[in-house]
Amino acid sequence: MSNHGYSPLTTETIAERLGNVDILQEKLGSDGSQWTSREVGDGNLNLVFIVDGPNGSVIVKQALPYVRLVGDSWPLPLSRSFFEYHALTRQAARDPGRVPEVYHFDEEQALIVMEYLSPHIILRQSLIEGKKTEGLGTALGNFCARTLFRGSDLHMETSRKKADVALFADNVALCDITENLVFTDPYFEAEMNRHTSPWLDDLVAELRADTEMKLIVQEMKTAFCNRAETMLHGDLHTGSIMVTDSDTKVIDPEFALYGPMGFDMGMLTSNMLMAWFAQPGHEASPGSRTSFQDWIANATSEIWQVFTDEFTRLWETERTGILYPSAVLEDQGHTAASRKALEQWLNTVWQDSLKICGIEIHRRILGLAHNADFETITDEERRATLEAQALRFGRELILNGNDRCATVADIFDVAGSFVLEDA
Amino acid sequence: MSNHGYSPLTTETIAERLGNVDILQEKLGSDGSQWTSREVGDGNLNLVFIVDGPNGSVIVKQALPYVRLVGDSWPLPLSRSFFEYHALTRQAARDPGRVPEVYHFDEEQALIVMEYLSPHIILRQSLIEGKKTEGLGTALGNFCARTLFRGSDLHMETSRKKADVALFADNVALCDITENLVFTDPYFEAEMNRHTSPWLDDLVAELRADTEMKLIVQEMKTAFCNRAETMLHGDLHTGSIMVTDSDTKVIDPEFALYGPMGFDMGMLTSNMLMAWFAQPGHEASPGSRTSFQDWIANATSEIWQVFTDEFTRLWETERTGILYPSAVLEDQGHTAASRKALEQWLNTVWQDSLKICGIEIHRRILGLAHNADFETITDEERRATLEAQALRFGRELILNGNDRCATVADIFDVAGSFVLEDA
């Protein structure tokens, strides 16, 4: 896609430029002069507008030809909007109602008009504030099971799956961000890295000298680059989830790619854990966030329990793809073997997730893109103490997670042991 | 690609239809009326002509819109010619001189005009006849190391690698053949299966009841479908290799796809082993092929030794891709860790190969496409005895190859134990 004809929207031009789109007239009101808009993009990449009209509100998300966080010194193709659109439509089909409804897509302008979620806030913010969301684990567990299963060769018709592999293989620039920022930069002195200095300096050097760990990280990078299991969200952290006290939505799948299931599950788990580690930095009085930490741990357990249950249900009822065909299993009476294959599959997802979880923690503390969970702790020494716990825990997950963690409860027990070391 | 305008060549029309192609005038002579041609296709899929002229000879290979072996009841897209062309040009760049030179490609006519190899014969035939080829192991070991390494994320620029993943993802029909005929059909009563009956009936039932083995086969099918490590030849058996007593060429890469390195290595190893198992069926007197069996075993060892050496050299000198970047290894002085990563990578290829090797043996004896190694043994009971040895050995490789085989010599020792059982 060339950028010819592309022009970034502004609050001044938005009504004029989108006023003729039927679905917007319907959602907002037919008189564009009555629309008002504000730019609210707080992410790293794009323009995001809320447009209000007499009939309601919509979100207009437009890609910029560079990384917003860094500026036009880091160009980034507009095509990410195309991939987000295709990911959103597939996610909507695979887990209806969990992603914002798309009203309009303009490929040339790299913009998507979609449902305005209100009164939703970003889950990361909600966790920092100590707010609970009822049904969070169920929503996210089902979302992951349904999107990951239904985008894979366990379910899809193989020609359609291969066509989607080809389609998303072109999302090079956003894969490149993950390949570098997640799997590589944290493990050497890359230019864009930063960490809470000087407190973490020694630990950072220690991690970069840990060759056993770094080889496992490269194994997982290889899995990320080569194992086209399913269409991933690709950026499923707590900043890509919006919540109220009882509703959960998943947004921003522009990093979508074909990759290993454990990547989405690991990144999600990791960001729940970072919220958990950071809680003491947000407490009003010592220990006032302990029960909320338990809620985070329970919600994370629930994600995995629901994921496992729903994945199992889909394995038994929707395994229509070319892998593990019933012709060689159930049709020959080998039901127990089919069950065993499912357990092996889920175990692979689990083991991959543990390693991705550790890697994601490292890159959020050592790389370019940090998390508000830690960043909003203004006492730097205090922040560094909590970050160090998380970093050491991340290394342990990468190296020994498979031996030490059979359940989510085990993960949080191991996490707790790194907090106790400091106590 | 639509078939509009496509028309199969005949020996009568070939000079008229290709007479204006400059490179053919150069290779054959400018006067098409002096060209003669014969159709020599003995493979399963295509038309193959040798065209002779005053200046020399060429091969014209044209896809048919169906599977030649089966007939027009099994349609197969002409696009396989497109994939063969793209695979040949990549293989030629990655291991110069090992594949036939392409003179001309016509996508609409699904035809490739290429170098005529003479006095080469198919390696499978050569092995049946007990003929040795000097340098076979070196040629094939280098071919595999160079094509597999240089088509992967260890070497290629990632945007080019992803573009090739997308390109070859469209080779759906030929992948479908492998997915079904190799990984699935042999393990249930598929319509097109056949085996040497009644002698193998009981063993076939036993294999189809072995759920532990069947789950490993499905794991490998998953790897084949999902692990886009490198551009594979995709059909690297002894029928895709042509030899003289001192030269080796690799042909027919129309099954090319992005998949795991162990697939090519396993299929190649497997077909050497089947030639080995079948030797007693071709001996003039008892034991007269024993020393040729040793030659096969040694050539197979040499393939792996050269593959390992060349892959190691490429790891150390051409690791310019995004995986295992020197920034996190050598540049930090972690040379030993880089070496360990290489060993782990090669071990994965080895372990995958052992399983693929067993699976390929099964499908060549139980599935649709059998090997001349066994098929030319006219005494059916004798053939069945040798096939049964190979089938049992194949199961052992799938189930326990990783424990029992650290080297190629170990593989042939295990193979020998299944022959001894019968003695």
Q: pLDDT digit string (tens) for B161-178?
A: 999 999 999 999 999 999
How many percent of chain B have pLDDT more than 70? 99
Locate B323 and state its tokens: 């995986």
Residues of chain B with C-beta less than 8 angstroms from the C-beta of A167: 166
Rounded to a whole number of angstroms, the CA Rg of chain A reads 22
B160–A contact, CB cutoff 8 A: no
Q: Are B185 and A179 a contacting pair, CB within 8 Å?
A: no
Same fold, B14-115 and B121-422: no
Q: Give how far Cα B125 sits from Cα of A238, A267, B246, B375, Å.
A: 61, 53, 15, 12
CA distance A59 to A51: 6
| Element spanning A82, H or E | helix A80-94
B208–A329 C-beta distance less than 8 A: no
What pLDDT is recorded for position A43? 67
Q: Cβ of A190 and B327 within 8 Å?
A: yes
- How far, in Å, CA of A101 to CA of A231, rounded? 19
Structure-token match 């599977």, residue found: B67
pLDDT at B2: 54
Interchain pair B341, A218: CB under 8 A: yes
| Position B268 pLDDT exceeds 50 | yes
3-state secondary structure of A95: coil
The residues pairing with B242 across neighbouring beta strands, listed in sequence order, are B122, B249
Distance from CA of B125 to the nearest CA of A (A): 34
pLDDT at B397: 98
Q: What does the pLDDT look like over A24-34, one tens digit per residue?
A: 999 999 999 99
One of 3.40.640.10, 3.30.200.20, 3.40.50.1360, 1.25.10.10 is the CATH number of A14-115, namely 3.30.200.20
Whole-number pLDDT of residue B69: 79
Please determine, for residue A389, whether its predicted confidence score (pLDDT) is greater than 50: yes
Which among B165, B176, B188 has the least Cβ separation from residue A158?
B176
In chain B, residues with a C-beta closer than 8 Å to the C-beta of A352 are: none
Is residue A1 very low, low, confident or very high in pLDDT (cuts 50, 70, 90)?
A: very low
Homologous superfamily of the A121-422 domain (CATH)? Aminoglycoside phosphotransferase (APH), C-terminal lobe (3.90.1200.10)
Give the type of residue at B44: N
Q: What is the pLDDT of residue B43?
A: 67
DSSP-derived secondary structure letter, B106:
E
Sign of CA dihedral A250, A255, A257, A262: negative
Could you report the per-residue pLDDT of A57-108, keeping only the tens digit for each? 999 999 999 988 788 888 999 999 999 999 999 999 999 999 999 999 999 9
CB B167 within 8 A of CB B173: no
Share of chain A above pLDDT 70, in %: 99
User: How many other β-carbons are positioned within 10 Å of the β-carbon of residue B3?
Assistant: 11
Q: Residue B1: which pLDDT band, with cuts at 50, 70 and 90?
A: very low
| pLDDT tens string B39-79 | 998 767 899 999 999 999 999 999 999 988 788 888 999 99
- Specify whether the CB–CB gap between B260 and B359 falls below 8 A: no
Q: Tell me, what's the pLDDT at A178?
A: 96
- Taking an 8 Å cut-off on Cβ atoms, the answer to whether A215 and B344 are in contact is yes
Contact A327 B184 (CB under 8 A): yes
Q: What are phi and psi of A150, to 5 degrees?
A: -75, -10
Give the domain ranges of chain B.
14-115, 121-422
| Per-chain mean pLDDT for chain B | 96
For B223-240, what is the mean pLDDT? 98
Q: Which parts of B56-118 are beta strand (E)?
A: 57-63, 66-67, 71-75, 102-106, 111-115
Residue A343 clears pLDDT 80, i.e. is over it: yes
Q: What are A114's strand-pairing partners?
A: A59, A102
- Which of B153, B327, B344 faces A225 most closely, judged by CB atoms? B153
**What is the spatial distance between Cα A225 and Cα B155, in angstroms, rounded to a whole number?**
13
Q: Which residues are within 8 A (CB) of A127 and not within 5 positions of it... i.e. 6 or more apart?
A: A238, A272, A275, A296, A373
Give B 34-73 residues with CB within 8 A of chain A: none
Whether the CA torsion A69, A73, A74, A76 is positive or negative: it is positive
> Tens digit of pLDDT for each residue in B171-210?
999 999 999 999 999 999 999 999 999 999 999 999 999 9
Residues 6+ apart with CB under 8 A from B275: B124, B127, B128, B238, B296, B373
The pLDDT tens digits of the residues spanning A112-123 come to 999 999 999 999
Size of interface A-B (CB pairs under 8 A): 133
As given in the structure block, the two tokens for residue A214 are 């770094």
Residue A2 in this model has a pLDDT that exceeds 60: no
> Is A166 in contact with B162 (Cβ distance < 8 A)?
no
ipTM of the modeled complex: 0.96
Per the CB < 8 A criterion, the answer to whether A282 and A250 are in contact is no
Average pLDDT over residues A180-186: 97
In the Cβ-directed half-sphere of B227, how many Cα atoms lie within 13 Å?
Answer: 20
